[in-house]
Amino acid sequence: MTVTSAAPSAFLLKAVNDSKGIIEGYASLYNMEDSEADMIAPGAFDASLAQWNRSGRQPPLLWQHDPTQPIGLWQLLKTDKTGLFVRGQLFVGEVARAAEAYALLKRGALSGLSIGYRPEVSRRDGKRGVRILERLKLYEISLVTFPALEAARVSAVKARMGDDGLLSALRSLQDAIRRAMPVSTQR
Protein backbone atom coordinates (compact mmCIF):
# COMPACT_ATOMS: atom_id res chain seq x y z
CA MET A 1 0.00 0.00 0.00
CA THR A 2 1.36 3.42 -1.03
CA VAL A 3 0.03 6.58 0.56
CA THR A 4 0.77 10.01 -0.85
CA SER A 5 -0.18 13.21 0.89
CA ALA A 6 -0.55 16.84 0.07
CA ALA A 7 -2.29 19.77 1.69
CA PRO A 8 -5.53 20.85 0.08
CA SER A 9 -4.96 23.73 -2.33
CA ALA A 10 -7.12 25.97 -0.13
CA PHE A 11 -4.60 25.65 2.69
CA LEU A 12 -1.73 27.81 1.56
CA LEU A 13 0.35 30.29 3.49
CA LYS A 14 0.86 32.56 0.53
CA ALA A 15 -1.35 35.21 2.15
CA VAL A 16 1.10 35.46 5.05
CA ASN A 17 3.93 36.41 2.68
CA ASP A 18 1.64 38.84 0.85
CA SER A 19 1.03 40.70 4.13
CA LYS A 20 4.61 41.90 4.36
CA GLY A 21 5.08 45.57 3.59
CA ILE A 22 1.92 47.14 5.01
CA ILE A 23 2.43 50.89 5.52
CA GLU A 24 0.20 53.63 6.87
CA GLY A 25 0.30 57.28 7.73
CA TYR A 26 -0.96 60.72 6.72
CA ALA A 27 -0.27 61.63 3.10
CA SER A 28 -1.51 65.16 3.76
CA LEU A 29 -2.60 67.18 6.77
CA TYR A 30 -5.14 69.97 6.84
CA ASN A 31 -4.34 73.60 7.63
CA MET A 32 -0.57 73.14 7.59
CA GLU A 33 1.64 75.18 5.29
CA ASP A 34 4.02 73.15 3.12
CA SER A 35 7.34 74.20 1.57
CA GLU A 36 5.50 75.47 -1.55
CA ALA A 37 3.36 77.89 0.54
CA ASP A 38 0.27 75.72 -0.02
CA MET A 39 -2.23 74.73 2.64
CA ILE A 40 -4.96 72.11 2.16
CA ALA A 41 -8.39 72.94 3.56
CA PRO A 42 -10.59 70.29 5.21
CA GLY A 43 -12.80 68.66 2.59
CA ALA A 44 -10.39 69.33 -0.30
CA PHE A 45 -10.06 65.59 -1.05
CA ASP A 46 -13.74 64.66 -0.81
CA ALA A 47 -14.76 65.00 -4.47
CA SER A 48 -11.60 63.32 -5.75
CA LEU A 49 -11.87 60.38 -3.34
CA ALA A 50 -15.52 59.94 -4.31
CA GLN A 51 -14.45 59.84 -7.97
CA TRP A 52 -11.78 57.23 -7.22
CA ASN A 53 -14.35 55.16 -5.31
CA ARG A 54 -16.82 55.30 -8.21
CA SER A 55 -14.07 54.06 -10.53
CA GLY A 56 -13.39 51.07 -8.26
CA ARG A 57 -9.69 51.97 -8.14
CA GLN A 58 -7.28 53.76 -5.83
CA PRO A 59 -4.53 56.25 -6.68
CA PRO A 60 -1.22 54.53 -7.43
CA LEU A 61 1.48 54.11 -4.78
CA LEU A 62 4.57 55.44 -6.53
CA TRP A 63 8.27 55.78 -5.78
CA GLN A 64 9.35 59.46 -5.61
CA HIS A 65 6.46 60.64 -7.89
CA ASP A 66 7.85 58.60 -10.78
CA PRO A 67 4.90 57.30 -12.83
CA THR A 68 7.10 54.54 -14.25
CA GLN A 69 7.76 53.14 -10.76
CA PRO A 70 4.59 51.90 -9.06
CA ILE A 71 5.68 49.99 -5.95
CA GLY A 72 2.42 48.98 -4.34
CA LEU A 73 -1.27 49.55 -3.93
CA TRP A 74 -3.16 51.85 -1.60
CA GLN A 75 -5.83 49.79 0.13
CA LEU A 76 -7.45 52.49 2.26
CA LEU A 77 -7.75 56.25 1.82
CA LYS A 78 -9.91 58.19 4.24
CA THR A 79 -10.17 61.70 5.53
CA ASP A 80 -10.63 62.68 9.14
CA LYS A 81 -10.20 65.90 11.10
CA THR A 82 -6.39 65.63 10.70
CA GLY A 83 -6.09 65.03 6.96
CA LEU A 84 -5.77 62.23 4.41
CA PHE A 85 -4.95 58.93 6.11
CA VAL A 86 -3.65 56.11 3.91
CA ARG A 87 -2.85 52.42 4.29
CA GLY A 88 -1.15 50.48 1.54
CA GLN A 89 0.74 47.36 0.59
CA LEU A 90 4.22 47.46 -0.91
CA PHE A 91 4.82 44.70 -3.48
CA VAL A 92 7.90 43.54 -1.57
CA GLY A 93 8.17 40.10 -3.16
CA GLU A 94 7.45 41.18 -6.73
CA VAL A 95 8.97 44.63 -7.25
CA ALA A 96 12.63 45.25 -6.43
CA ARG A 97 12.11 48.96 -5.73
CA ALA A 98 9.29 48.07 -3.28
CA ALA A 99 11.64 45.75 -1.40
CA GLU A 100 14.22 48.56 -1.25
CA ALA A 101 11.58 51.01 -0.02
CA TYR A 102 10.43 48.53 2.64
CA ALA A 103 13.99 48.05 3.90
CA LEU A 104 14.52 51.83 4.03
CA LEU A 105 11.22 52.34 5.86
CA LYS A 106 11.99 49.64 8.43
CA ARG A 107 15.40 51.22 9.13
CA GLY A 108 13.99 54.76 9.36
CA ALA A 109 15.96 56.05 6.37
CA LEU A 110 12.74 56.88 4.48
CA SER A 111 9.37 57.99 5.83
CA GLY A 112 7.98 60.78 3.65
CA LEU A 113 4.63 60.76 1.89
CA SER A 114 3.66 63.19 -0.84
CA ILE A 115 0.60 63.68 -3.00
CA GLY A 116 0.47 64.30 -6.74
CA TYR A 117 -2.51 66.53 -7.49
CA ARG A 118 -4.00 69.34 -9.54
CA PRO A 119 -5.74 72.25 -7.77
CA GLU A 120 -9.35 72.64 -8.87
CA VAL A 121 -10.47 75.35 -6.43
CA SER A 122 -8.01 77.51 -4.53
CA ARG A 123 -7.73 81.00 -3.11
CA ARG A 124 -4.89 83.22 -2.05
CA ASP A 125 -4.65 84.23 1.61
CA GLY A 126 -2.61 87.43 1.28
CA LYS A 127 -2.46 87.94 5.02
CA ARG A 128 -0.66 84.64 5.57
CA GLY A 129 0.96 84.53 2.14
CA VAL A 130 -0.33 81.05 1.30
CA ARG A 131 -2.50 79.44 -1.34
CA ILE A 132 -5.37 77.56 0.25
CA LEU A 133 -6.40 74.48 -1.72
CA GLU A 134 -10.13 73.99 -1.26
CA ARG A 135 -10.64 71.23 -3.82
CA LEU A 136 -8.08 69.17 -5.66
CA LYS A 137 -7.84 66.23 -8.01
CA LEU A 138 -5.66 63.54 -6.47
CA TYR A 139 -3.57 61.61 -9.00
CA GLU A 140 -1.13 59.60 -6.90
CA ILE A 141 0.52 59.24 -3.50
CA SER A 142 4.25 58.58 -3.31
CA LEU A 143 6.87 57.47 -0.88
CA VAL A 144 9.46 60.25 -0.93
CA THR A 145 12.68 61.23 0.76
CA PHE A 146 11.73 64.90 1.16
CA PRO A 147 7.99 65.60 1.45
CA ALA A 148 6.77 69.14 0.70
CA LEU A 149 4.74 68.88 3.91
CA GLU A 150 7.23 67.84 6.58
CA ALA A 151 4.52 66.23 8.75
CA ALA A 152 3.28 63.93 5.93
CA ARG A 153 4.92 60.71 7.05
CA VAL A 154 4.56 56.95 7.23
CA SER A 155 3.67 56.21 10.83
CA ALA A 156 3.66 52.40 10.73
CA VAL A 157 5.53 49.74 8.78
CA LYS A 158 4.42 46.21 9.48
CA ALA A 159 3.76 42.68 8.39
CA ARG A 160 0.14 41.95 9.14
CA MET A 161 0.72 38.45 10.53
CA GLY A 162 3.61 39.29 12.84
CA ASP A 163 7.27 38.42 12.80
CA ASP A 164 9.22 35.74 10.98
CA GLY A 165 8.90 33.43 14.00
CA LEU A 166 5.17 33.17 13.49
CA LEU A 167 5.64 32.64 9.76
CA SER A 168 8.13 29.85 10.43
CA ALA A 169 5.73 28.17 12.88
CA LEU A 170 2.88 28.37 10.36
CA ARG A 171 5.05 26.85 7.62
CA SER A 172 5.97 23.97 9.96
CA LEU A 173 2.28 23.42 10.67
CA GLN A 174 1.54 23.41 6.94
CA ASP A 175 4.27 20.79 6.35
CA ALA A 176 2.94 18.61 9.18
CA ILE A 177 -0.59 18.73 7.75
CA ARG A 178 0.72 17.79 4.31
CA ARG A 179 2.51 14.75 5.75
CA ALA A 180 -0.54 13.67 7.77
CA MET A 181 -3.26 13.99 5.12
CA PRO A 182 -3.68 11.00 2.83
CA VAL A 183 -4.74 12.13 -0.62
CA SER A 184 -4.73 8.88 -2.56
CA THR A 185 -4.18 5.25 -1.73
CA GLN A 186 -2.84 2.63 -4.12
CA ARG A 187 -3.04 -1.13 -3.42
For 13-59, write each residue's pLDDT tens digit: 333 345 689 999 999 999 999 999 999 999 999 999 999 999 999 99
Same structural domain, 146 and 178: no
CATH number at residue 84: 3.20.16.10
- Residues 176 and 166: their CA atoms lie apart, in Å, by 15
Residue 148 CA to residue 34 CA, distance in Å, equals 5
Q: Would you say residue 107 has pLDDT above 80?
A: yes
Same domain, 66 and 127: yes
Same domain, 39 and 117: yes
What single-letter DSSP state applies at residue 114?
A: E
Q: What is the dihedral of CA 139, 142, 145, 149, to 10 degrees?
A: 50
Total domains present in the chain: 2
pLDDT at 99 over 70: yes
Pair (78, 124) in one structural domain? yes
Output the average pLDDT for the chain.
83
Distance in angstroms (rounded) separating the CA atoms of residues 155 and 45 = 20
What range does the domain containing 41 cover?
21-160
**Are both 128 and 184 inside the same structural domain?**
no
- Is the domain of 56 the same as that of 119? yes
Average the pLDDT over 147-154 and give the result: 96
Q: Say if residue 102 is in the same domain as residue 37.
A: yes
Count CA atoms within 13 Å of residue 115 on its CB side.
32
Q: What is the pLDDT of residues 64-83, one digit of tens each?
A: 999 999 999 999 999 999 99
Band (pLDDT 50/70/90 cuts) for residue 173 is: very low
**Residues with catalytic function:** 65, 114, 140
Per-residue pLDDT, 159: 63
